[in-house]
């Protein structure tokens, strides 16, 4: 079955340890991580997984050069890898066993130059399980 919810409002209607999968893509840069990530961990069964995407701040391109934040001018920001690790761990996920895929361009967004150009938006795709000892 499929359940849709406003993650910023919490998931009070969902029983603890009742879901096999929580899927949240393309939204976490707009959500309150202090509310939604602990709720995602709470509702997952012991072997359940979170599949999520986070806009990647401090990304580097294929050559190792720093990429500018493409959405800061829109008041939208993502997370660095170290912030991602800390947020997941604090929320009850095991970052040590998490799988993180880096994408240098998930999609394009209009440039702040307002000249019709676009910028790549880098993303981190994460698969994480709840820590064994809750």
Percent of the chain with pLDDT over 90: 70
Angle among Cα 8, 9, 12 to the nearest 5 degrees reads 125
Distant-in-sequence, close-in-space partners of 34: CB < 8 Å, separation ≥ 6: none
pLDDT tier, 3 (very low <50, low <70, confident <90, very high otherwise): confident
* pLDDT at res. 108: 95
Task: Work out whether strand 19-24 and strand 44-55 pair parallel, antiparallel, or are unpaired.
Answer: parallel
* pLDDT at res. 134: 56
User: Is residue 54 within 8 Å of residue 84, measured between CB atoms?
Assistant: yes
Residue identified by tokens 């209607």 is: 13
For 26-42, the pLDDT digits (tens) are 889 999 999 999 999 99
For 57-94, the pLDDT digits (tens) are 999 888 889 988 889 888 888 999 999 999 999 999 99
* pLDDT at res. 133: 63
pTM of the shown model: 0.89
What's the CA dihedral at 1, 93, 57, 107 to 10 degrees? -20
For residue 96, the 8-state DSSP code is G
For 91-122, the pLDDT digits (tens) are 999 999 999 999 999 999 999 999 999 999 99
* pLDDT at res. 4: 81
């Amino acid at each position: 079955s499929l359940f849709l919810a406003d993650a910023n409002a919490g998931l009070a209607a969902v029983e603890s340890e009742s879901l096999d999968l929580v899927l949240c893509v393309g939204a976490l840069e707009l959500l309150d991580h202090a509310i939604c990530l602990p709720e995602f961990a709470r509702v997952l069964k012991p072997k359940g997984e979170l599949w999520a995407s986070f806009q990647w701040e401090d990304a580097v391109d294929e050559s190792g050069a720093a990429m500018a934040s493409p959405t800061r001018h829109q008041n939208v920001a993502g997370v660095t890898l170290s912030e991602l690790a800390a947020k997941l761990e604090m929320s009850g996920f095991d970052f040590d066993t998490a799988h993180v895929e880096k994408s240098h361009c998930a999609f394009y967004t209009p440039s702040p130059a307002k000249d019709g150009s676009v910028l790549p938006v880098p993303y981190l795709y994460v698969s994480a399980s709840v820590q064994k000892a809750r």
